[in-house]
Structure 1
Amino acid sequence: MSTKFSELTTDQKIGQLLLVGFPSQELNDELKELISDCHIGNVIVFQRNIKDSLQLAELNNSIQKLMEEHNGVPAFIGIDQEGGMVARIFNKATCFPGNMAIAAGIPFEEAFELGAAIGEELHDVGVNMNFAPVLDVNNNSQNPVIGVRSYGDIPEQVAQYGKYLFKGLQSEKILSCGKHFPGHGNTNVDSHLGIPVISSSLSELEKVELVPFIKAINSGIDGIMTSHILFSALEKDNLPATLSKTILTRLLKEKLGFKGLVITDCMEMKAIADNYDIEEVVIKALNAGADILCISHTKELQIRAFNAIKKAVGDGIISNEVIDSKVEKILYFKEKYDLYNWRKLNCKINDEELKRHSKLAAAISEKSITLIKDQKGLLPLKNQDTISITPISQATSIADDEIEKANLGCVLENEVGAEYINYDLKEIDEDYIISKVINKKTIVFGSYNMNLDKSQKRLFDRLIATGKDIILVALRNPYDISEYIDEVSTIICTYEYTKLSISSLVKVLKGEIGASGRLPVKVD
């Protein structure tokens, strides 16, 4: 039986407005204290909390038991399981392709099946909210944080893929939270590190950035995540969207008609944390229209946020009516997504399910590999006098967390006998690499966000100058190829550097499958 709104104390109501992270793979004293003393009502899990899917299920069950004891209300347990380069669960779970690979490989209607598969695995282990899909239109090639997390640069395309993906998630009782409203695609600053500014007018936003959000809202998405971006033409008080009543209430809720949960991006990101105290920011966000505030990392800030809201309610800065309306909405969606039946969950992902999902993920990945050109007929790849120069994969932003390690060079050595050199993105030894390619005929060069990295460009330019046959593989950002369309004879895009994408790529390089992917963005 669900807890009635009237049964909640003021502290319990305030706790429902907060979504917190913690550092452990088990229910530690830190989280226990937050739930017992502050009645925190919701949790976000990261890779730091996850050993594998079975452990995560056990952790989530222990969290829900404590929530039941202290709040009488189950928790939203959220995760960033976007797929591709941004995923938190790797072990005993399926590694699904990310958004740009999806858009390169399959028709948008097929994104429903993918969303349902992701939702099925999350539901089985007790996660009931996914901060996905990314609904940002990546219309800025210099964007350091969105890029391949987007479905592309065509608004209607992003809208259609996002619609089917979130419907698949919600069909499996996972509340889908589209992000980052009203759009993070046209920025060249990572909001984890600073405040991006977008000067577009509302009419301009309605033609591009808002299109996927409008489609999602009209199609029934139940969660929207705010962005910490200053939209200077919309917000005259110099406030980022997360803190702007103009954007969250007047635009999102009133003009666009969104009735679901408005959840903030993490309040510890530097776009917010470097400019506001936590006490100030939580009050501004709630009064602006946010329903749930995400504070992902620091216990002290989480407690201060709770105390600040409690004081603001006592002082009348936030009215009881505002708090009550938000909490009633949160409880409504906890009922809608069947959170009170958490004890009935499978608590693990079965082998049959993993096989089915793995097959689906592999099929999408193989279809996503995009051959831009092969003018000299260098494919299928021969092992004679071939060397691969490939990067050591790494997270390029805080959003990536710790990514699954992939190694194209090692796989090519095993599959076709090609010698390889792994280069470190942080410190490239150009002279050593050049010395190793002198006696080779063909170079397979893997780039990794090279369009944003001068040192990679310098190395690649030197490799071109050797006059060798070159196969350029853009392992993540397809914009890497834009400067080299005319210079390099063979170019391939994979959209993500994961074990799955490398497996698909090597099949194309060996001629075992054709490359049927299509570019979701303009690169010229």
Structure 2
Amino acid sequence: MKKIIACIGTFFALVALSTQAKNPYLLQTADRSAMEHWVDSVFETLSPKERIAQLLVITVRNSDTPQNRKTLQRLIQEQKIGGLLFDSGTAKDQANLTNYCQSLSKVPLMITLDGEWGLAMRLSDTPRFPVNMMLGAVQNDSLLYEYGRAVGKQCRRMGIHVNFAPVLDINSNPRNPVIGKRSFGESLKNVSSKAIAYAKGLESVGVMAVAKHFPGHGDTSEDSHKTLPLVPHSKERLMSTEIPPFKAYIDSGLSGIMVGHLNIPVWDATNTPSSLSPIITRELLCDSLNFEGLIFTDALKMKGASKFGNTALRAILAGNDIALNPSKPEEQLNSILSAIEQGKITQQAIDEKCKKVLRYKYVFGLANYTPIKTKNLIEDLNAPEYDALNRKLNSEAMTLLRNSQNLIPITHLNKGRIAVVSVGNDTESVFQKTITLYADNVGRFDDSNPLPSLLDTLKHYDKIILAVHSGKAEHRARIGRICQTGKAIVACFLSPYQMNRLSHELTHCKTLLLAYENTSLAQEYAAQALFGGYAIKGKLPVSLEGSFKLEEGIYIPKCRLGYAIPESVDMDSWILSAVDSIIAQGIKEEAFPGCQLLVTRQGTVVWNKAYGYFDYETHRHAVATNDLYDLASVSKATGTLPAIMKAYDNGRIDLNKPMSKYFAPLRNTDKKSLTIKEALLHETGMPASLQMTSVIIDPNSFTKPLIKRRKSSIYSIQIGNNTFANRNAQLRKDLLSSRKSDRFPMRIAQNLYGSKSLPDTLINRIIECKLRPSKRYLYSCLNFVLLKETVESATGIAMDKYLQQNIYGPLGMQTTGYRPLDRFPTERIAPTECDNFYRKQQLIGYVHDETACFFGGVQGNAGLFSNANDLAKLCQMWLNKGTYGNERILSPKTVELFLTEKSSTSRRGLGFDKPDMDNPEKSPTAIEASASTIGHLGFTGTCFWIDPEQELIYIFLCNRVYPSRTHDALSQLNIRPELFSTIYRSIKNHSK
């Protein structure tokens, strides 16, 4: 009794509040006088039958064929119907047919859409937004408003005036066969707020929102497409659960409502569908809830209504304004005409509804109808702004339901092995490919791997990422057995209800991420979520019996780079795409055969593309984003410098102390007082480089000078611009050999090995180098050779191992390192120079720089190989003040010191190059770069730049020295700075 009294109170409160219902927003925006003038002028031209026809919207085929055009012509010119609902097809066909139909119609047609998840629900060549159940997990309702605006703008572009969305049904029945994922969930508050936000977004751009399915289809066990579903609940339940979202929608001033085909005995005991029931449509919706907007029936051809006959007439009598898709429109029109003659309905009632429809047509802009412009239609519908929003919605919906061992985000990528297993998909899935952006060396498996052998293989892995793309019976055992390993991190690409049917199989998984759908974007952002590329914020929009409660969801903050598109971080894709032309010109001019370009902003990679080929001649290998390039002197700032930073951070070195304190061979030399800081700033007085010819060329192997400025028969080997070497010169046999042995263990190149004494020979020659009289700035590779020796002496560890343990491994930089042939095939490494002098071979995987080369490939000035994606992780760690992937790599103070310290006499920073603010025309960066920008160039055609003020990272890798170092078109064409400038220009509202 208390429940009944309470609900009766709720009902009367609802009725009382209904007087506060707003006049629909769309009508409020119109010039009332102009609108009424147009409505009256059109109305007066219509015959009684034509006025009735304005109340019919008919579903038509979306196929631009001569036969379909004839059908549409009859429908419009003979039956004079008021509106169209196109079924599935393409945007191009629908646009052409809309223009055709509008050209035939006496009164402009109302074009409608059944687009619950955007145009893609009906149009195949448009963006596919998430279904409502997934959106129900999003915690930021302003995104739903933006989503509504986006769909509204797409509708306007397509000449669509009405969208049959949002779904306002509370899906409280998990076994509901027709609503399910179409609902925002089971929370009254969540469904209401999201639906209203979406609807307001639609109507903010002049597209009518139509909420459905009044008075609530969420708790039914039958499908109204197939039968008339029974809603067995009491009035109290309906008024407290199903009706409030519609009441809130009406009070928000929104314009359209669709009445569903439902049998609700407590309101209408005649077994009449709610869409045809005056009690439900007129008395409840119009009178009690005071809805003044446009009322549509659900499609009258559906089995839930069609068997009742004369459906259009009954719909109008019930209080609907629009009869949607009744069968046999001509018969329906004649039936209503007869009803007028028989006095069952008045002409005045028809006229009022006709004028009501015409008012909305005026609001839609049909008083000044213009055809759809079909030029660039598909491009406009798929504009980057929609992609950016779609990505944001997907990322915000990801819901972490279990994380009992705190495995998410996945950390310590350098410790243990990771396997990725897809069930119901393959190793080429978007999910698996996205994971390789974070962990390139994972084991990848799918349904093609027999379960017994797969389980044996998985024993050798420490973490198993299990991607569940299917809940079919044939996959359940596989899912359950893998979860029983106790190592499974599950990403589930199913609806919450589908996932809950696997509750037994998922019992043993300690980590569970719900991605809601199996779309490409859901897979991409689930993978990113697992590794911390985006914060995980979603909350479960429904309860799952025996498993999870409503609004469960574990928040995980962002801790790694994410991947999106430029618009996601307020950049313009169209402007940024100009880099494609710059690079194409560079390839055409043979500045380089191919390259990688990466751009990140605000912790998000927005451009990560590969261009061209490894070579000019064969085009056998198109560059991929996971290929490796020789970084040349970029190694100074991304190899030696991070090692110095880490050693400084650990108190192993003091920047103001001489290198000789740590590297003993310097102590009794003229270099004993040179400090680490001076070396980082290139202010030591060291010469620019070591003349390798004086060390490794046998002086007895040739006569005449070694080098000349002109080519001749003897001086036939070009080693630089206008520099040619004596072809008779040979390497010293005491230092180098063509065969590996105990005496010559160090690999220098293919079929070339260095002696045990070679590194000491080179170091001694560097130590013996004569210092210049002044310590004034001079860029010197030898400074960084000494820094490498210093850091190794201070830490007691070889620098490459020190970097792997402390920097590259924790950051997940799996392609970055020295001597890449120890880890990667030659097919993944870009070739550099064809060295006809020292190594007499095409260099692939062996460092181009001769100093680093003859040290065995690991040196402070060069030697590092990487792809752009992994370098971005190091750069982002610096921008994060020393953290990445939930791991502290460096202290904030250390990072701040190295990123901000600058020479008082040159543009250089501590190991970094910087912009030349005094001479911008000589600056290695873009002119737009801020003074705080840091980075470095590399001789092979590489560079990276970080602008902390814009949270911007720019990385360009190429092999411009292929096949010869004399290729200087890269510098002549100013490509690297021009690419950087283009990136700045693409930043919205950026000015300098």
Q: TM-score, normalised by structure 1?
A: 0.84
Deviation (angstroms), 1:126: 0.3
SS of aligned partner of 1:28: helix
> Is the 1:84–1:496 Cα contact (8 Å) retained in structure 2?
no
SS of aligned partner of 2:170: coil
Q: Hey, what does 1:336 align to over in structure 2? A: 363
Q: Hey, what does 1:250 align to over in structure 2? A: 283
- For structure 2, which runs of at least 5 residues remain unmatched after alignment? 1-37, 437-442, 459-463, 549-992
Deviation (angstroms), 1:168: 0.9
- Which segment drifts farther, 303-312 or 131-140? 303-312
SS of aligned partner of 1:47: coil
Query: For the structure 1 residues 85 and 481, does the alpha-carbon distance in structure 2 shift closer, same or farther, using more than 3 Å as the test?
Result: farther
Find the aligned partners of 1:263 and 1:45 in 2 and give their Cα distance: 16
Find the aligned partners of 1:43 and 1:490 in 2 and give their Cα distance: 48
SS of aligned partner of 1:140: coil
Matched, 1:464 2:480: yes
2:87 to 46, 68, 88: 46
Query: For the structure 1 residues 228 and 351, does the alpha-carbon distance in structure 2 shift closer, same or farther, using more than 3 Å as the test?
Result: closer
> Is the 1:85–1:496 Cα contact (8 Å) retained in structure 2?
no
1:420 to 440, 446, 449: 446
Find the aligned partners of 2:333 and 2:281 in 1 and give their Cα distance: 21
Q: Hey, what does 2:174 align to over in structure 1? A: 141
Find the aligned partners of 2:173 and 2:457 in 1 and give their Cα distance: 37
Query: For the structure 1 residues 84 and 122, does the alpha-carbon distance in structure 2 shift closer, same or farther, using more than 3 Å as the test?
Result: closer
Deviations 1:126-150 (A, max 9, x none): 0110001111111111122222222
Q: Hey, what does 1:125 align to over in structure 2? A: 158
Q: Hey, what does 1:321 align to over in structure 2? A: 348
> Is the 1:128–1:339 Cα contact (8 Å) retained in structure 2?
no
Find the aligned partners of 2:130 and 2:206 in 1 and give their Cα distance: 21
Query: For the structure 1 residues 116 and 386, does the alpha-carbon distance in structure 2 shift closer, same or farther, using more than 3 Å as the test?
Result: closer
Find the aligned partners of 1:106 and 1:66 in 2 and give their Cα distance: 46
Find the aligned partners of 1:476 and 1:167 in 2 and give their Cα distance: 29
Matched, 1:291 2:350: no
1:499 to 493, 516, 520: 520
Find the aligned partners of 2:305 and 2:408 in 1 and give their Cα distance: 50
Find the aligned partners of 2:494 and 2:87 in 1 and give their Cα distance: 22
Query: For the structure 1 residues 489 and 62, does the alpha-carbon distance in structure 2 shift closer, same or farther, using more than 3 Å as the test?
Result: same
- Which segment drifts farther, 37-46 or 3-12? 3-12
> Is the 1:81–1:89 Cα contact (8 Å) retained in structure 2?
no
Find the aligned partners of 2:127 and 2:398 in 1 and give their Cα distance: 19
Deviation (angstroms), 1:438: 4.0
Deviation (angstroms), 1:502: 2.1
> Is the 2:157–2:381 Cα contact (8 Å) retained in structure 1?
no
Query: For the structure 1 residues 385 and 201, does the alpha-carbon distance in structure 2 shift closer, same or farther, using more than 3 Å as the test?
Result: same
Deviation (angstroms), 1:316: 3.0
Q: Hey, what does 1:74 align to over in structure 2? A: 108
Matched, 1:62 2:100: yes
> Is the 1:413–1:420 Cα contact (8 Å) retained in structure 2?
no
- Which segment drifts farther, 208-217 or 344-353? 344-353
Q: TM-score, normalised by structure 2?
A: 0.46
Deviation (angstroms), 1:353: 7.6
Find the aligned partners of 2:452 and 2:339 in 1 and give their Cα distance: 66
Find the aligned partners of 1:471 and 1:187 in 2 and give their Cα distance: 35
Answer 1 or 2: which has greater helix percent. Answer: 1
> Is the 2:139–2:539 Cα contact (8 Å) retained in structure 1?
no
Q: Hey, what does 2:817 align to over in structure 1? A: none
Deviation (angstroms), 1:440: 4.8
> Is the 1:148–1:496 Cα contact (8 Å) retained in structure 2?
no
Deviation (angstroms), 1:107: 1.7
Q: Hey, what does 1:105 align to over in structure 2? A: 138
Matched, 1:4 2:39: no
Residue correspondence of structure 1 range 163-242 to structure 2 within 5 A: 163-242=196-275
Instruction: Say what the alpha-carbon RMSD is for the aligned residues.
Output: 2.8
- Which segment drifts farther, 137-146 or 435-444? 435-444
Find the aligned partners of 1:196 and 1:474 in 2 and give their Cα distance: 31
Deviation (angstroms), 1:39: 0.8
Query: For the structure 1 residues 272 and 470, does the alpha-carbon distance in structure 2 shift closer, same or farther, using more than 3 Å as the test?
Result: farther
Deviation (angstroms), 1:266: 0.8
Deviation (angstroms), 1:276: 2.5
Residue correspondence of structure 1 range 261-272 to structure 2 within 5 A: 261-272=294-305
Deviation (angstroms), 1:160: 1.3
> Is the 1:385–1:439 Cα contact (8 Å) retained in structure 2?
no
Find the aligned partners of 1:47 and 1:236 in 2 and give their Cα distance: 37
> Is the 1:84–1:498 Cα contact (8 Å) retained in structure 2?
no
1:30 to 71, 96, 99: 71
Deviation (angstroms), 1:352: 9.7
Query: For the structure 1 residues 62 and 89, does the alpha-carbon distance in structure 2 shift closer, same or farther, using more than 3 Å as the test?
Result: same
> Is the 1:385–1:440 Cα contact (8 Å) retained in structure 2?
no
Deviation (angstroms), 1:55: 4.0
Find the aligned partners of 1:517 and 1:161 in 2 and give their Cα distance: 14
Deviation (angstroms), 1:287: 0.9
Instruction: Report percent identity of matched pairs.
Output: 28
- For structure 1, which runs of at least 5 residues remain unmatched after alignment? 392-406, 423-431
Matched, 1:519 2:519: no
Deviations 1:258-310 (A, max 9, x none): 0111101111212223x333x3x2222211111111117xxx63333233323
Find the aligned partners of 1:127 and 1:408 in 2 and give their Cα distance: 40
Deviation (angstroms), 1:368: 0.9
Find the aligned partners of 1:491 and 1:302 in 2 and give their Cα distance: 52
> Is the 1:389–1:446 Cα contact (8 Å) retained in structure 2?
yes
Deviation (angstroms), 1:379: 6.1
> Is the 1:105–1:517 Cα contact (8 Å) retained in structure 2?
yes
Query: For the structure 1 residues 231 and 473, does the alpha-carbon distance in structure 2 shift closer, same or farther, using more than 3 Å as the test?
Result: farther
Query: For the structure 1 residues 443 and 108, does the alpha-carbon distance in structure 2 shift closer, same or farther, using more than 3 Å as the test?
Result: closer
Q: Hey, what does 2:308 align to over in structure 1? A: 276
Letter in 1 for 2:350: I
Find the aligned partners of 2:98 and 2:359 in 1 and give their Cα distance: 21
1:310 to 289, 313, 337: 337
Find the aligned partners of 2:519 and 2:200 in 1 and give their Cα distance: 26
Letter in 2 for 1:444: L
Deviations 1:165-192 (A, max 9, x none): 1111011110111101001111121211
Query: For the structure 1 residues 272 and 86, does the alpha-carbon distance in structure 2 shift closer, same or farther, using more than 3 Å as the test?
Result: farther
Letter in 2 for 1:367: E
SS of aligned partner of 1:371: strand
SS of aligned partner of 2:286: helix
Query: For the structure 1 residues 476 and 232, does the alpha-carbon distance in structure 2 shift closer, same or farther, using more than 3 Å as the test?
Result: farther
Deviation (angstroms), 1:205: 1.4
> Is the 2:258–2:295 Cα contact (8 Å) retained in structure 1?
yes
Deviation (angstroms), 1:223: 0.8
Find the aligned partners of 1:255 and 1:512 in 2 and give their Cα distance: 50
Find the aligned partners of 1:388 and 1:291 in 2 and give their Cα distance: 50
SS of aligned partner of 2:422: strand
> Is the 2:137–2:398 Cα contact (8 Å) retained in structure 1?
yes
Deviation (angstroms), 1:489: 2.1
SS of aligned partner of 1:21: strand
Deviation (angstroms), 1:6: 2.4
Find the aligned partners of 1:143 and 1:314 in 2 and give their Cα distance: 43
Letter in 1 for 2:241: V
Matched, 1:88 2:118: no
Letter in 1 for 2:227: G
Find the aligned partners of 2:127 and 2:518 in 1 and give their Cα distance: 16
- Which segment drifts farther, 492-501 or 161-170? 492-501
Find the aligned partners of 2:59 and 2:212 in 1 and give their Cα distance: 19
SS of aligned partner of 2:446: strand
Deviations 1:27-70 (A, max 9, x none): 6111111111111110002223xx23x44333222221112xxx
Q: Hey, what does 1:354 align to over in structure 2? A: 383
